Amino acid sequence: MCGFVRLPARHALALIWALGWWLSSASAAAMDFIHFSPPPFLDGPSVSRAALGATYLYRGRDQFAGTELRITVARQPPEMANPAPLSASACLEIFEAELKRQHPDLFALPTALRLRVGPDEFSQIRWSRRQHGAVVTGVLACGVHRDYFVAINYGATSTVALKLFPVIRQQLSRLALNF
């Protein structure tokens, strides 16, 4: 007997984000969920698609090679629609859990600051971890836009983060969400 495995909603969203990690080397034309002009130090996007959405990965070049920006847009799984609607806190919880699964040494703290993403402001957490002897710091922000989760995750080594993060935030404020 052949059939599909039905994943719980939280696992389905985490899978979309994880696919972006694993398939990020494959480049494809974007489905136009977003229109984004990355800062000049980032290349991309590499686009990974799944049934519920897509992940756009931008990677740093040259001296900023350890820098990444990941934008995930995911439709709400039907099983999450009842009884509660989408929420930014559920979005953050799902994507933070996946980030911690991939990086067990991750240290994360919520912050009262909000990240402007196009027309919206998203809740965010700040995180840090060790990678190859260096400290990598970053931001995970999540929100809901027209029945879609939008997750933004960016990180860089602590030596360049202070210089790059304001530029990334400025560009994210201009992000167009095309859905």
pLDDT tier at 2 (50, 70, 90 boundaries)?
very low
pLDDT at site 5: 37
pLDDT in tens, 60-76: 999 999 999 999 999 87
For residues 120-125, give the mean pLDDT.
Answer: 95
Please count the CA atoms within 13 angstroms of the CA of 74 that sit on its side-chain side.
Answer: 36
Q: What is the mean pLDDT of the chain?
A: 84
Q: pLDDT, tens digit, for every residue of 27-52?
A: 444 457 999 999 999 999 999 998 88
- Better-predicted residue by pLDDT, 83 or 22: 83
Domain architecture of the chain: domains with CATH: 9-177 (3.40.1000.10)
Residue 59 pLDDT > 70, yes or no? yes
